[in-house]
Structure 1
Amino acid sequence: MSHKRVFITGGASGLGRAIALRYAQAGWRVCIGDVHAQRGAEALAELQALSPRSLFLTCDVTREEDLREVATRLTAEWDGVDVVVNNAGVAQAGTIDEVPIADWQWVLEINLLGVVRGCHVFTPLFKRQGHGHFVNVASMAGLLDMPRMSCYNASKAAVVSLSETLQNEFVGTNIGVSLVCPSFFKTNLAESLRTTNPGTRQFVEKLLSRSKLTAGDIAEQIFQAVEKREFYVLPHAQGRQAWLLKRLLPRRLYTELLKSQMSKMRTGGASPSA
């Protein structure tokens, strides 16, 4: 890509920070948006050592005006932006009768509508420029249907559908879309986890820590996918296998397989796939 300017929501920690560092290492101008000021300042110092024109802007993806301010600032300072990574996200776990509606609203406002706002705000800028690329971070949870995670699964499935729709919508333009669906990996997602079951947090943290892939590994795959303008970015082999089985197996057999895998995961006998 001839232009090298990227904006990343949730860019002060976790996968967002890893993506930011990967782009900075490649010499891109990097802007991270985040609600955490201290983490943002720390990440910015790291980024500016690699790419001096990098920026940190306070940005809450539940506020459309924050994203519009970012678009205005990047237009003024960088004359636009080439890649927008809609990465900010939170987690929720619990059965359908346990999770309060307020938690559904919290998750959907960030995980789904945060991505919608990013695409809504930056598409006109991409159209004016004549090019651009969205990276929407979903999860294998959006392709599979792990039990006791209906709220999180539904939010990520909606990001999958949104991204697939936008890919179709942008046909004939120079605007690209990449959809990222990682499984569990070493990150700080558990920090944001809301759950009604005290044991769930420990279980999720165990799954995150057992992953062989790091945030840096996934950031590298994202970087390469954008360069090649690839749509699906499914970093985990087991996740890809599980998605294939879901599409090929009769529903009853898939459900039984999922139940067996969940049982093994809880006893430490299997690696996570979503």
Structure 2
Amino acid sequence: MKPVLLITGAAHGLGRALALGAARDYKLALLDRERVAGEQLADALRRDGAEVLFVHADVAVEADWRHALERVQRRWERLDILINNAGLAAMGPFEGQTPATWEQLWHTNLMGAVHGCRTALTMMKRQGDGHLINVAALAGITAPPGMAAYVACNAALIRFSEALAAELDGLNIGVSVVCPDLFSSDMSRRMPNADPLSRARLQRAMDDAPESAAEVADTILQQMGKRPLYLFPQPEARRDWRRKRWRPERFVARMAKLGSSLRRYR
């Protein structure tokens, strides 16, 4: 019997790529706050023979999570894997990132995953097995300049995942945190209150990235069966993680040079 996989932020980008890559091997529950795009993806997957449930939901709203998991319970009576993928980007000088931007990122990127893990954990404890996967970003480790709000949310999500993994050890419920570097995506369009220059810079960086969302998704789907705590879907992401651990002051100095460059050309 195919395991049940729930993916948030499934209508676009990495979430869509994960859904397309997993459709053959999993029963899919897809969550997104963009109803039309989510339903279109679900319909396309069903035409290809996949078993799919789409739920219109905002991950920042805990009640939406309860409704979504109730529908999964009624449909399949279990949930094997949750991928908390939904997230927003933010880029620009710290003083230009308003409290509203910070709050929006915090509620979606961090608390969305917290609500998801809390709600899914009830089902997973009852069934005695499960896997919680939080998609953060390598920025939560490398802390590049010009992304303070985004860096803070991802760093918190990484530490949350580590703490949760330790807490659930011995319960047969795995916890993984995925830390991808930039990859080709349309994430720049989901940047609240971004100035045009910052939006263009992020899009240009993603367009220049060597990996596509589909390639990153394939690596995640291939590796997640091992239930690693840290999952780096690109070789350079793992190398940067090691560089930061081994020589943190040198790494921060490298980021400072980048920060000076960003200030110079604004």
Corresponding residue for residue 23 of structure 2:
24
Partner Cα separation in structure 1 for residue 204 and residue 55 of structure 2: 33
Shift of 1:59: 0.9
Amino acid at match of 1:11: A
Identity of aligned residues (%): 33
Shift of 1:259: 3.8
Shift of 1:53: 2.2
Partner Cα separation in structure 2 for residue 263 and residue 216 of structure 1: 33
Q: Which runs of 4+ in 1 moved over 6 A?
A: 262-266
Pair 1:193-2:197 in alignment: no
Corresponding residue for residue 258 of structure 1:
255
Q: Is the 8 A contact 1:86 1:118 kept in 2?
A: yes
Corresponding residue for residue 272 of structure 1:
none
Q: Is the 8 A contact 1:178 1:225 kept in 2?
A: no
| TM-score, scaled to structure 2 | 0.93
Structure 2 stretches lacking a partner, 5+ long: none
Query: 1:77-119: per-residue Cα shift (whole Å, max 9, x none)?
Result: 1011111111110011122222111111011000000000000
Taking the TM superposition and a 5 Å limit, the aligned residue runs for 1:44-55 are 44-55=42-53
Aligned-pair Cα RMSD in Å: 2.0
CA gap 1:51/1:137 in 2 versus in 1, 3 angstroms? farther
Partner Cα separation in structure 2 for residue 167 and residue 223 of structure 1: 19
Q: Is the 8 A contact 1:195 1:201 kept in 2?
A: no
Corresponding residue for residue 183 of structure 1:
181
- Give the total of aligned pairs: 264
Amino acid at match of 2:128: G
Corresponding residue for residue 114 of structure 1:
112
Amino acid at match of 2:3: K
Query: 1:29-81: per-residue Cα shift (whole Å, max 9, x none)?
Result: 11101111110111112221334421111010111111111111111110111
Partner Cα separation in structure 1 for residue 123 and residue 63 of structure 2: 15
Taking the TM superposition and a 5 Å limit, the aligned residue runs for 1:85-234 are 85-234=83-232
Amino acid at match of 1:37: R
Amino acid at match of 2:86: A
Partner Cα separation in structure 1 for residue 204 and residue 227 of structure 2: 34
Amino acid at match of 1:169: E
Q: Is the 8 A contact 1:225 1:231 kept in 2?
A: no
Amino acid at match of 2:37: R
Q: Is the 8 A contact 1:180 1:234 kept in 2?
A: yes
Local SS of the residue matching 1:179 = strand
Query: 1:125-144: per-residue Cα shift (whole Å, max 9, x none)?
Result: 10001011111000001111
Match of 1:245 among 237, 243, 246: 243
Shift of 1:3: 4.8
| TM-score, scaled to structure 1 | 0.90
Partner Cα separation in structure 2 for residue 264 and residue 109 of structure 1: 31
Local SS of the residue matching 1:8 = strand
Corresponding residue for residue 15 of structure 1:
14
Q: Is the 8 A contact 1:7 1:83 kept in 2?
A: yes
CA gap 1:151/1:265 in 2 versus in 1, 3 angstroms? closer
Q: Is the 8 A contact 2:14 2:213 kept in 1?
A: yes
Partner Cα separation in structure 1 for residue 194 and residue 223 of structure 2: 37
Match of 2:32 among 34, 40, 56: 34
